[in-house]
Structure 1
Amino acid sequence: MTDVQEIVAEKAAELVRSGGERGLQVAAYLDGRPVVDVAAGVADPATGRPVEPGTLFSNWSIGKGATATLVHRLVDDGTLTDDTRVAEVWPEFAAHGKDAVTVRQALDHSAGVPSLPAGVTVDDVCDWSRMVAALEQAEPWWEPGTAVGYHAYTFGFLNGEIARRASGRELADLLGDLTTAIGFPGEIRFGTADTAALAVLEDAPMPGTGDFTLSEDMLRAVPLALLPTAALGADPRILAADIPAWATVSARALARMYAGWLDGTVVSRDRAPAAYTESSSGTDRVYGNPSRWGLGFGLGLPWDQEGAPRVFGMAGAGGSWAGADPDRGVAVAVTRNVMSRDFETVRVLVTAVLDAVR
């Protein structure tokens, strides 16, 4: 194996020098051993504060992987099963024909409840009880289990409430157990009041949008006021709230979490195939793209679903990604503070890791 740390560090530095990136982290594990821990650029251009390995980045849906992991750990310990009906632990969820929805369907985006209520506000999504009530009153878009559609915000509240009800504990406590188990306590968080040390997000210049429009279904799932932007990611209400469809994270903590999926330290080795075995697939009913899901994780690399079919992980709006390749024994995470629409930075850095360890 070539010196993957040196290769990735140089590529990260090039991206920052080019002006395309402001600050980023890359971390990777091979067979449970750390092989990359790179921090490059600045976390806050106003002060020049550098990115450190423990700097936390608000990288949106990249945090869904942690939420899914909390549910899997409850399946692993026998508290839940994949086929437990959500209504068994959360009776109010059964309203409007949702009584047969299972934990499996909540995890693989086939539950049929991807939309937020009409007129939802930032304050609404920051209020756990309101979002739980909204899910209880939601009517499925399709018969659960018969189609797939990305549950952009609702994935977190749905699976988060399942975990709360089944365990009898708060999400912060379950997440605290997880981050302690991986050796990076506090480096994956949902709500956080400690915002001064976070990386400062900024929106990348957007190219011409051409004919790009948001469909009615997309806007039902993510209204304009809740589209991921640097301003929304800096909103103190958002940062302080438990919104487990996203998280503030360090790359090293997420990479270690995914490594724990492969080495049996986060979930059992018997549980791991649930993450990378296809559970749902088809044309996404919300976004219209081809999609493939294990239980809680997207399958394939963001730029190549077919070439790496057993890679599992989660991407974040703005172009971050974390996941693992069970065939190579590699776990990788990339965080960024420049929010763009593409995954070119992730492609460059993750490919460098995979090529070096191949």
Structure 2
Amino acid sequence: MVLQRRVQSVLDELVGSGAETGLQVAVHHRGQPVVEAVAGVADRRTGRPVAPDTLFFSFSTGKGASALIGHLLVARGLIGYDTRVADVWPGFGVHGKEATTLRHVLTHTAGVPAMPDGLGPADLGDPERVATAIAAAEPRWRPGARTGYHSYTFGFLVGEIARRLTGHSMGRLLHEWVAAPLGVPGELRFGVPPADLARLAHLEDAAPPDESASWELRPTAGLGNDPALLTADVPSVGTFTARGLATMYAAILDGRLISADRLARLSEVAFEGTDQVFGNRVRLGLGYPLPVLGWPGGGGSRAFAHPATGTSFALTKNRLVADFGTAERLVQVVTEGLRGRVS
């Protein structure tokens, strides 16, 4: 209860100062929920308050859920990490991509980090067209040789592999394999049913977007509020509650979704090098940057599992900023609050 009060106090301060508009935080520790806090308004235009079940479009935070589906495909014996993508998706095996594996996809080493020329935000709702274009693309490097953040292509790669193996969309798999069994149906979404759009928080830009950046690397409120994107199955981005994300990551840690052996494997360094998109050094496990397992989202959201401490953390928010200061502050508060409980 002390940690709950501390987190709530920080959220109230952030909203009161104008640094944030609306946000949610959820934390699980060693399988138990220890924080579920909300503050502010979901939609400044109407004054609708944030509730625990308010959905937030959270950009690349969705990659954590996509990576999980990849691991569940392996756990179900449908594919191996070193299975060639072309064995599942024959059209992909051209222009030097013949040896690309699921491992390469999960470590962002597949060599197709950007959407093919001619495709833009309006094409995201047409996964068949996007998949066909990615399959025909020439890699920017030999698959497996380098890494570079696959902003939107990551989800379409995992999604097309999953579709060919199961016949189902990533959104359906996320619901049937993860959200429903964990008791958070409707709180983990790759595509939101039109009837649920009214539940979403309304995003807002804290500053004018950087028009010089590629649209793939430029999260904006205009894009994140677009019903065409929100209702499409685009598994590099997603719409979530913090409660849903924290529950998902807790279930990764405690064995409800993957085995302890598999957790150990995906927590190991699978690739280390310089990111060819951003230029920073990275250490990647299978599907996640290390040492935590999870992805931040453009605009400031963040969700992850920390195997060493048994902690899962999720922050969703609707004021898009260029840094992760709010997430870092809250993670510090949580870490300090749990220190005495971590053995």
TM bin, normalised by shorter chain, reads over 0.9
Which residue number in structure 2 is paired with residue 313 of structure 1?
A: 294
Which residue number in structure 2 is paired with residue 283 of structure 1?
A: 274
Number of aligned residue pairs: give it. Answer: 336
| Pairing 1:339–2:338 present | no
Unaligned runs of 5+ in 1: 300-309
Question: Deviation at 1:235?
Answer: 1.0
**TM-score normalised by length of structure 1:** 0.90
CA distance in 2 between counterparts of 1:30 and 1:146 reads 37
Question: Deviation at 1:213?
Answer: 5.8
The DSSP-based 3-state class of the residue aligned with 1:298 is coil
Contact 1:206 1:340 in 2 (8 A): no
Contact 1:188 1:247 in 2 (8 A): yes
Contact 1:107 1:295 in 2 (8 A): yes
**Which stretch of the first structure deviates more once superposed, 191-200 or 13-22?**
191-200
Which residue number in structure 1 is paired with residue 3 of structure 2?
A: 4
Please tell me the residue identity of whatever aligns with 2:254: D
The DSSP-based 3-state class of the residue aligned with 1:24 is strand
| Pairing 1:240–2:201 present | no
Which residue number in structure 2 is paired with residue 254 of structure 1?
A: 245
1:51-105 deviation per Cα after TM superposition (whole angstroms, max 9, x unaligned) = 1111110010001111111110111121111111111111111121211100011
Contact 2:169 2:233 in 1 (8 A): no
Which residue number in structure 1 is paired with residue 135 of structure 2?
A: 136
Which residue number in structure 1 is paired with residue 85 of structure 2?
A: 86
Contact 1:181 1:266 in 2 (8 A): no
Which residue number in structure 1 is paired with residue 184 of structure 2?
A: 184
CA distance in 2 between counterparts of 1:79 and 1:245 reads 21
| Pairing 1:155–2:154 present | yes
| Pairing 1:198–2:189 present | no
Please tell me the residue identity of whatever aligns with 2:199: A
The DSSP-based 3-state class of the residue aligned with 1:186 is coil
Please tell me the residue identity of whatever aligns with 1:235: D
CA distance in 2 between counterparts of 1:84 and 1:38 reads 42
CA distance in 2 between counterparts of 1:293 and 1:206 reads 32
| Pairing 1:167–2:169 present | no
Question: Deviation at 1:333?
Answer: 0.4
1:276-321 deviation per Cα after TM superposition (whole angstroms, max 9, x unaligned) = 211112111112122221111122xxxxxxxxxx222100000111
**% same residue:** 49
Which residue number in structure 2 is paired with residue 114 of structure 1?
A: 113
Please tell me the residue identity of whatever aligns with 1:181: P
**TM-score normalised by length of structure 2:** 0.94
Please list, as runs of the form range in 1=range in 2, the aligned pairs for 1:89-100 lying within 5 A after superposition.
89-100=88-99
Segments of 4+ in structure 1 off by > 6 A?
A: none
Question: Deviation at 1:12?
Answer: 0.8
1:125-145 deviation per Cα after TM superposition (whole angstroms, max 9, x unaligned) = 221111010111011111110
Which residue number in structure 1 is paired with residue 65 of structure 2?
A: 66
The DSSP-based 3-state class of the residue aligned with 1:196 is helix
CA distance in 2 between counterparts of 1:276 and 1:355 reads 23
CA distance in 1 between counterparts of 2:218 and 2:118 reads 14
